[in-house]
Structure 1
Amino acid sequence: MEWFKVVGFAMCVLVPTAHCASQSIAWCYHLPSCNDTTWPTLSSQYCNGTRQSPIDIVSASATPNDNLSEFTFVNYNDTSAMTSIENTGDTVKVTLKSGVKISGGDLSDQYDSLQFHLHWGNGSSVPGSEHTVDGKRYPMELHIVNSKSSYNRNTSLAVNDSTGLAALGFFIEVMPGSSTGQPQSWRSLTSYLANITQKGQKVSIAAGFSLDDLLVGVDRTKYYRYLGSLTTPACNEAVVWTVFKEPIKVSKDLIDLFSTTLHFNDSTSQLMTNVYRSLQPAQQVWTQSIKASTTTTCFSLSLLLLSLALGWSWS
């Protein structure tokens, strides 16, 4: 039975400080007996629920919401916020130290950022993001997992709250051109993969790059919002999802490292590929209202026309 992941609910996998129940759930991505088609049977309480993730986001159907304000990111610029990186047997998980937080973005509370992990397919040529937008699947997706600060990092409490967890999803796509080893922050992060090739291996991360560095180039004011679930068993329906519209751009060679370096178990086992859940039924999705940007555009156009008119009057 060493070939599958045994966890006491998904929060044990997703959140490093989880207080886990004794019940364990056997699940995997890569074998017929435990892949995501069997999760509704293996973990029937939530995995066959009505508020499941991930979903395909249809941009034209997203409902405008004026309350979707900018986020406040606390200590995302801290170059020592990432403490360790681990091969969990189904993903790469990076643990964050306490004091990293998010608020705003129409979230009901402040949330503690606990960890991030990634989902991918098979190299840059076989996409593996969990969410899709208008049917497009990106090569990878990064998830930052956050829990309400009022729960003091106790995820057993958070998963019983319909908005107890907040997940930030960032797509990752191939950087244009023939660049290699870019950006520097991702070269630093992926340099640790050679040390965690086997399940259970975990190493410390040296200070030197921040979460802001990893999210380079992304406009974090533009995003989609919906209410969903964890994307691994027990699929608890306790997640406020924020999926950012702009992807992180990473060079092809660094993306390919995930599917060519890591194994599901030991070094003789299958390489870790296609670690994402299939799409679930659609949910209502919200996004920022276009009213503000339209007003700005009209104002700029009015100024342009006025300046042209003044120019003609002086000629």
Structure 2
Amino acid sequence: MDFLLSAAFVLCWSSGFVGAKLGAQDAGAVTILMWRFLPLAVVLAAVAAGRGWWRTLTPSTVGRQAVIGLLSQSGYLLTVYYAIQLGVSSGTTALIDGTQPLVAGALAGPLLHQYVSGRQWLGLCLGLGGVAVVTTADAGASSGVAWWTYLIPFAGMLSLVAATFLDQRSRTPVPPTVSMTVHCTTSAVVFTTAALATGAAAPPSAPSFWLAIAWLVTLSTFGGYGLYWLVLQRSGITRVNTLMFLMAPVTAVWGAAMFDEPFTVQTAVGLGVALSAVAVVHTAGRKSLAPAPSLPLPSPPCSAPTCLSRRRRTVSRRADC
């Protein structure tokens, strides 16, 4: 079950980079994000009102979830879309996003007491090497892309890491359907305000734009974003973030097939390194989670009233005999 959820998460999350590239052909980042979240937020809010989900939330919980949504959707997606709009390939954007496991692994111990083993650290550093190899290959193959544009996806990655830790430190469990409603509503308000302020609210008439919106809502939001929090709850922060290394192979193949993005030998080597990193981390994670051999426990010492009762029963049996 966990394997199927992880595979579905990788496929759906990587679809977001492809959807962003599809939408960027017809509109800017703010326009795409406004129309991705505004209709979705209206539908989710109507469902929440009909089922009375809002009654289970306190103002502090709503505020916390709104901040998580602001970081994990608004901050993260705006940087990803903006980088792709500036010319960074979808595969490289996914690979830069793949450095998230290293950052999350470094912070999981002091913040969440989920410590990373030495073998897992080896895998995380190996994954970072794969990211560096592919990013260098893409930077050499792409023309007209400024070096500083590669820093934009890093900012989005840090935003998602911050949202993940904020969610994990919360002591109030929130159902995924409720949290997604708050997150999408927050993003709808942010992106609609930004689009209206910049004059980018009007959607293009091209059918490909609405195809990209349908792609993003169905696969990326419900599939990728929803499964992210579900797998996080089931597997922990280190293992779910390590799956980010797998986004690059799927996204790079899609980018080469759909957008004719460069896929060189160096790119393939980097992707192979990233895949090896995932295998190392997950193998080490299974070993660290293996249960320790159980030992027979000594019998608890007999308390005075219990021992006295046992003696009385023994004397009574002897008297009956």
Q: What TM-score do the two structures reach when normalised by structure 1?
A: 0.25
Between structures 1 and 2, the one with greater strand share: 1
Which structure has the larger Rg? Answer: 2
Q: Which has the higher contact order (CA 8 A, sep 6+)?
A: 2
Between structures 1 and 2, the one with greater helix share: 2
